Chain A
Amino acid sequence: MSNEKNQTSLTSALEKWSEAVDQKVSKRPERKPEFLNTSGIPVKRLYTPLNDSRQNYLEDLGFPGEYPFTRGVQPTMYRGRFWTMRQYAGFASAEESNKRYRFLLDQGQTGLSVAFDLPTQIGYDSDNEIAIGEVGKVGVAIDSLEDVETLFNGIPLEKVSTSMTINAPAAILLAMYIVVAEKQGASPKDLKGTIQNDILKEYSSRGTYIFPPKPSMRIITDIFSYCAEHVPLWNTISISGYHIREAGSTAVQEIAFTLANGIAYVDAALKAGLDVDKFGPRLSFFFNAHLDFLEEVAKYRAARKLWAHIMKERFGAKNPKSMMIRFHTQTAGCTLTAQQPKNNIVRVAYQALSAVLGGTQSLHTNSMDEALSLPSEESVQIALKTQQIIAYETGVTDTVDPLAGSYYVEALTQEIYDRADAYIKKIDEMGGAPNAIEQGYVQREIQDSAYSYQREIEKEERIVVGLNRFHIDEERPKNLLRVDPSVRTQQVERLKNLKARRNNDNVKNALAALDRGARGEDNLMPLIMEAVREYATLGEICDVLRGIFGEYQAINTLR
């Protein structure tokens, strides 16, 4: 039997079928004249083998655990072990957050994920005036090593893996983590975890930047190089599309802008003289699980293939581990509604399933009440149980990449790949992601998508159950979790005590050494470690660096 003959007969059969259906449709139209997914890709009525006729199985898909990793980064995927169930948490004080972590570990969570408050994320101590109203609100307040000691009290850092959502001051929090682990008797060589450390998406989407791009990239490559030697199992960066998507991008833009940022980090590291196969395997990624189920599955698959091609062909990586996208996923916070919040449990479940069918390495499932406030313990529990049900009950974990071979999923995987690749080429022409961001290109693309999405909802072209259709009368939930406003007073008190107790001469010397190092070209990590050990505060360390590096001034893209 010849393939060509099959194709020809399929083509003519399909034409015949389509004609017949079109006739029926002209009398009884479909729901919409055109079906578009969130990336604006037209979705056809039917996909057949003709749609992936371009596809070459070995080249485009291959086997799981093998280049180009379209089907997954491990050969056995969830047959070997499930993804890490990792709920992002942290609020108020280190004591409070420590309690929540122990609760989550008791509930069967397998990794920690630390949320920091905003003053911590942008390098201010809790006693800074700018921090009033924000201390402990969206995460835990960390001012010094002392707080990190409390945060992980009774949690053996050798045994858990910890992800920290920290970017501009990532080096400082990582240094604190290493020192606390050492004090517990652990070796840095055994520490597992991730720092987000992805400053480019802070400029474009998330907003917790401190320093301008150039010194920021230097700190990042200093971390790459320090960890390659001393903390080899640590994921030194989590290149994040999550926040790009939350800021309003489409699925295609999420992949394109994330991988373009990834390219910029690799470029910077190569320029700093690092070996691509030494730091490459420690790059990790972070994606969003949004509503369009099959688009999301295809998105993860496309991202794996595209990054593999980039690392091999563009950067000449030899180690297959450098070519793998290992990624964390979080369900899309922006899709949660304040109306009928219990519906969010269902949204999250489908989003989580798409991440699992897309081959994620770890997962955070959002809690139903997050459009209203910080999640309650009950809603966090349901969110975590959602993952456990997918893992243990649905059976989707028993074979690798089960949606492969779906005519639609394969066609969509290729389409997303092509469109993201075209964006990356455009960003290359602009001189790379840092330039594209400084010119406001990325921000404008994202804000335009966000605006269109909102317009679609308001014009009811996009239906959100409970929001613009299917209303019910309901009482808004009460007893939402609130952060005790006395957290700031306590933190300020702790800081005062600490500053009276510590050896202030040693602090001064350590900060002076950091100042000298930052003016020169030394790796900043050992200097920051020293300052942290002496209980220099996060704000003090950032002040030294702000003094030398200056602060980033964002471009206004609403002009």
Chain B
Amino acid sequence: MGNTKKIRVLAAKPGLDGHDRGIKVVALALMNSGMEVVYTGLRQTPTQIVESAVQEDVDVIAMSILSGAHDYLFPKVMELLKEKGVTDMLVLGGGIIPDEDIPALKEAGIAEVFGPGTTTTDIVSYIEHHANIQ
């Protein structure tokens, strides 16, 4: 373990859907792998998510949506981050997200999208490799 600083992750539920099984399982897996996780709870607006991310000084934002509102909400979060001048956060998305939507989300700055069937091991390892820790 070369890293002395722990990776800090904001686990967030943007939008209105209450499906939090996925994000909670992922959050528990990240915690068990040694990361520090702050969970926002349900129904977070993009503004709230960005504020929490800045306030908590996280390295990673992991968002989950299962309602289909990702096409509006994920890019909105990226837009607000840019407005705040935050450019070094790793932002990830998960949930029920059709393949054909992924290119546009990546275009908007979402680094990776994890769909149903992804293992938590894969997510942990992705974050360990890509998080931008100073």
Contact = CB atoms under 8 A, between A and B. Distances in A.
Contacts, number: 102
A372 B96 CA distance: 6
B117 A138 contact: no
Nearest to A203: B18
Interface string B95-113: 0101110000000000000
Interface string B12-54: 0001111111001101110100000101011101000000000
Nearest to B65: A133
Size bin of chain A's contact surface: 35 or more
A478 B80 CA distance: 32
Contacts of A272: none
A479 to B, nearest CB: 9
A338 B99 CA distance: 11
Interface stretch (A217-225, A385-393, A447-455): A447-455
B28 A371 contact: no
B57 interface: no
A512 interface: no
Interface residues of B, number: 36
Contact of A119 (B16, B21, B28, B39): B16
A458 B98 CA distance: 23
Interface string A242-276: 00001110000000000000000000000000000
A556 B29 CA distance: 17
A202 B43 CA distance: 13
Nearest to B118: A338
Contacts of A138: 17, 67-68
B67 A339 contact: no
Interface in A522-559: 554, 556-559
For the complex of A and B, list the 8 residue pairs with the smallest distance between their C-beta atoms, beginning with the closest.
A207-B18, A133-B72, A133-B69, A118-B16, A137-B68, A558-B39, A338-B116, A134-B69
29 contacts: A118-B15, A118-B17, A122-B43, A130-B16, A130-B43, A131-B16, A134-B68, A134-B69, A206-B18, A207-B42, A208-B16, A334-B21, A338-B117, A371-B117, A373-B68, A373-B96, A447-B21, A447-B28, A450-B21, A450-B24, A450-B25, A457-B119, A467-B117, A478-B100, A483-B68, A554-B42, A557-B24, A558-B27, A558-B39
Given A132-B72, A454-B120, A558-B28, 19 more contacts: A119-B16, A130-B16, A133-B69, A133-B71, A134-B68, A137-B68, A207-B43, A208-B18, A246-B21, A248-B25, A339-B117, A374-B68, A451-B24, A451-B29, A454-B25, A458-B121, A480-B98, A483-B68, A558-B39
Interface of B: 11, 15-21, 24-25, 27-29, 31, 37, 39, 41-43, 45, 67-69, 71-73, 96, 98-100, 115-117, 119-121
Interface of A: 118-119, 121-122, 130-134, 137-138, 202, 205-208, 246-248, 334, 337-339, 371-374, 447, 450-451, 454, 457-458, 467, 476, 478, 480, 482-483, 485, 554, 556-559
